[in-house]
């Protein structure tokens, strides 16, 4: 027979359960962001995307000035070669930078990349031939490995409570850099013509019409270089430093790196490239292929004559269309994405990004119909023309907003998934370098494919979808394929594997 004294302890324990659950909820709160480390990282991150995209608005005109294209319809082919040269050199060097940062540290690799970016940006502004510009873009790709190294550094100063917010800062900075770079290239190219009162008498900018935006880009790189040299501290903690780092450097606002840094060796390439990693890398490469096809085609599409399936925009309008997205980026990257990721997980955000991109790809080429009608009405008195022009810009910016939403969701999520799959912190450089390699390899061939297909499609009077819609439709089909493949990725990619407890059989246990 059970006595009351036997029952009381159990009931007392059951009454204590709710407070225990509340105590666990209080423990899991976001660690304050270590801005002393984040700020210089952000400053360094801005340099690469700004210098990469500032050429987009004026590239069409620059190649036309070189005189290498037989007709305007061939300019896209030469533009694709320019993009391909950058991606080729990046692809063959990015793994080296990632592994090197795992050995000597993140800081020296980042500094070297910024010095190279600063130098080649100035050189590109003084190019007077297509061959010289091609070689300079190839040199720029050699120093474009900082993005992968920065992902590793950011992951090392984050913890489980703030990792999604901190990792979102890098693509946010990248997207802002892409848009600011496009705006700089569109507004400040050929300044002697655009700003005759300021630069009309400058022989330097008359002879080098594309130097000013490149000087602005190199200034941004110089600012990042100064921030890296004087404010950024090394994040790669070596095993011998772990105890000292925990006792001396840990604060409430700084993640305790020493708690998770163990004296482990880097894993072998074979052990890292598991079937899951390979599957995620494949979806990453295919997604990047589809995004790159449309993103690198857009400035050519926007500058092409509407009668050939383009929009007929000038460099300043192209830069404006790419730069206005920055308002949307800040909200999505800093506010919306962390909330979505915490509520639904990284994988859900990845799939939503892919699905959002498909309607953007399908609808964008139809804008050329409105642009062609506006061109026909040019020089005629038509009350509907301003309304139609406003309508075209509203539709264009709506589609560009969809593009940036999908870009933020997809690329931020894939960055987090790759970081989450690294078994140890010592392998972060390799994993992020491998991801960057996968994207760089696709970017080697994608510009040539998209440029050649665009040139071919507008030269031949073929029916839909083989006309000017061809590249956009292929990108949409490819994105739909990636979306389908993503449903084979397990939910385990939502967790940071390097900080997860791992069963280790010690030698003492085995002896027993």
Whole-angstrom distance, CA of residue 60 vs CA of residue 190: 13
So what's the pLDDT on residue 498? Answer: 65
Condensed to tens digits (0 to 9), the pLDDT of residues 384-407 reads: 557 778 888 899 999 998 998 998
Contact (Cβ atoms closer than 8 angstroms) between residue 53 and residue 178 = yes
| Distance of alpha carbon 390 from alpha carbon 394, whole angstroms | 6
pLDDT in tens, 444-455: 788 788 888 888
24 vs 17: CA distance, rounded Å: 11
For residue 64, report the phi and psi dihedrals to the nearest 5 degrees: -60, -40
Alpha-carbon distance values, 488 to 77, 275, 351, 484, 492 (Å)? 36, 11, 11, 8, 12
* Cβ-based neighbours of 348, under 8 Å, separated by 6 or more: 340
Question: 36 vs 227, 251, 427, CA distance in Å?
Answer: 11, 13, 25
In whole angstroms, how far apart are CA 22 and each of 30, 31, 340, 441? 16, 18, 23, 49
Q: Is the pLDDT of residue 291 over 80?
A: yes
Residue that wins the pLDDT comparison between 26 and 238: 238
Q: Are 152 and 432 in contact (CB under 8 A)?
A: yes
User: Cβ neighbours of residue 61 under 8 Å, at least 6 residues apart?
Assistant: 189, 190, 303, 315
For residue 256, give Cα distances in angstroms to 73, 150, 152: 57, 19, 16
Per-residue confidence (pLDDT) for residue 335, from 0 to 100: 80
Band the pLDDT of 98: cuts 50, 70, 90: confident
- Tell me: pLDDT of 58 over 50: yes
The pLDDT score that the predictor gives to residue 380 is: 44
pLDDT for the residue numbered 75: 84
Residue 233 CB partners (closer than 8 Å, separation 6+)? 37, 107
pLDDT computed for residue 109 by the predictor: 93
| Global pTM value | 0.66
b/e per residue, 188-216, with b = 16+ CB within 10 A?
bbbbbebeeeebeeeeebeebbbbbbbeb
Ranges 15-24, 101-110, 152-161, 389-398: which has the least confidence: 15-24
Q: Provide the pLDDT confidence category of residue 10 given band limits of 50, 70 and 90.
A: very low
Please say if the pLDDT value at position 313 is more than 50. yes
Tell me the Ramachandran region of residue 236: left when phi exceeds 0, alpha when psi lies from -120 to 50, beta otherwise. Answer: beta
As a whole number, the mean pLDDT across the chain is 80
Q: What is the per-residue pLDDT across 327-350, written as a single tens digit (0 to 9) for each?
A: 777 788 778 888 888 889 899 999
pLDDT value at 311 more than 50: yes
String of DSSP letters for 264-283: -PPPPHHHHS-HHHHHHHHH
* Local confidence band at 206 (pLDDT 50, 70, 90 cut-offs): very high
pLDDT at 268: 67
The DSSP secondary structure of 1-30, one letter per residue, reads ---HHHHHHHHHHHHHHHHHHHHHHHH--P
- Token representation of residue 176: 């802002």
Which tokens in the block code for residue 188? 């400040």
Burial class (CB in 10 A: 0-12, 13-18, 19+), 248: exposed
Q: Is residue 143 scored above 80 in pLDDT?
A: yes
Per-residue confidence (pLDDT) for residue 502, from 0 to 100: 57
Contact 160, 110 (CB under 8 A): no
Q: 249 Cβ partners below 8 Å, 6+ apart?
A: none
pLDDT tens-digit map of 207-258 = 999 999 999 999 999 999 999 999 999 988 765 544 344 333 444 444 434 4
- Which SS3 state, helix, strand or coil, does residue 159 take? coil
Q: Is the pLDDT of residue 127 over 70?
A: yes
Question: How confident is residue 26, by pLDDT bands cut at 50, 70 and 90?
Answer: very low
| Predicted pLDDT of residue 246 | 39
At 383, the pLDDT band (50, 70, 90 cuts) reads very low
- Answer yes or no: are the C-beta atoms of 392 and 375 closer than 8 Å: no
Retrieve residue 308's tokens: 């050939």
The pLDDT score that the predictor gives to residue 339 is 85
For residue 267, the model assigns a pLDDT of 65
At residue 264, the pLDDT reads 53
Please give the pLDDT value at position 209.
93
Rounded CA separation 140/127 (Å) = 14
The pair of structure tokens assigned to 213 is 């935006």
Give me the pLDDT at residue 227, please. 93
- Mean pLDDT value of segment 4-26: 45
> CA nearest 58: which of 274, 201, 209?
209
- 24 compared with 187, residue with greater pLDDT: 187
């Amino acid at each position: 027979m059970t006595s009351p004294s036997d029952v009381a302890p159990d009931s007392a324990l059951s009454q204590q359960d709710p407070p225990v659950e509340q105590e666990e909820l209080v423990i899991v709160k976001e660690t304050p962001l270590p801005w002393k480390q984040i700020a210089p990282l952000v400053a360094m991150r801005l340099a690469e995307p700004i210098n990469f995209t500032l050429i987009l608005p004026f590239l069409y005109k620059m190649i036309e000035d070189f005189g290498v294209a037989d007709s305007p319809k061939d300019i896209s082919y030469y533009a694709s070669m320019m993009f391909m040269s950058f991606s080729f050199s990046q692809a063959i060097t990015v793994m080296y930078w990632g592994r090197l940062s795992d050995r000597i540290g993140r800081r020296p690799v980042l500094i070297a990349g910024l010095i190279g970016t600063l130098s080649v940006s100035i050189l590109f502004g003084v190019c007077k031939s297509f061959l010289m510009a091609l070689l300079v873009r190839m040199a720029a790709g050699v120093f474009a490995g900082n993005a992968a190294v920065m992902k590793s550094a950011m992951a090392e100063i984050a913890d489980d409570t703030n990792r999604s917010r901190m990792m979102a800062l890098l693509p946010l900075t990248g997207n802002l850099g892409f848009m600011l770079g496009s705006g700089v290239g569109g507004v400040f190219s050929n300044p002697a013509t655009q700003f005759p009162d300021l630069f009309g008498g400058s022989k330097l900018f008359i002879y080098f019409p594309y130097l000013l935006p490149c000087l602005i880009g190199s200034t941004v790189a110089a600012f990042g270089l100064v921030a890296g040299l004087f404010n950024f501290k090394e994040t790669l903690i070596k095993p011998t430093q772990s105890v000292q780092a925990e006792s001396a450097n840990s604060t409430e606002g700084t993640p305790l790196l020493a708690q998770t840094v163990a004296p482990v060796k880097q894993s072998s390439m074979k052990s890292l490239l598991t079937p899951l990693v390979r599957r995620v890398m494949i979806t990453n490469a295919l997604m990047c292929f589809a995004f790159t096809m449309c993103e690198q085609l857009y400035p050519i599409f926007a500058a092409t004559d509407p009668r050939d399936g383009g929009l007929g925009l000038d460099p300043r309008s192209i830069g404006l269309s790419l730069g206005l997205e920055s308002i949307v980026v800040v909200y999505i990257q800093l506010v919306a994405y962390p909330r979505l990721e915490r509520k639904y997980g990284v994988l859900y955000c990845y799939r939503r990004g892919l699905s959002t991109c498909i309607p953007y790809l399908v609808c964008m080429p139809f804008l050329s119909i409105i642009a062609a009608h506006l061109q026909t009405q040019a020089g005629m008195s038509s009350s509907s023309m301003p309304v139609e022009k406003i309508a075209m810009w509203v539709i264009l910016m709506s589609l560009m907003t969809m593009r940036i939403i999908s870009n933020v969701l997809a690329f931020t999520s894939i960055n987090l998934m790759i970081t989450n799959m690294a078994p140890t912190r010592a392998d972060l450089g390799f994993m992020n370098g491998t991801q960057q390699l996968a994207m760089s390899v696709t970017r080697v061939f994608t510009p040539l494919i998209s440029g050649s297909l665009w040139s071919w499609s507008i030269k031949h009077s073929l029916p839909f979808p083989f006309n000017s819609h061809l590249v956009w439709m292929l990108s949409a089909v490819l994105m739909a394929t990636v979306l389908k493949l993503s449903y084979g990725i397990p939910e385990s990619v939502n967790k940071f594997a390097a900080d997860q407890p791992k069963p280790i059989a010690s030698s003492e246990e085995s002896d027993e």
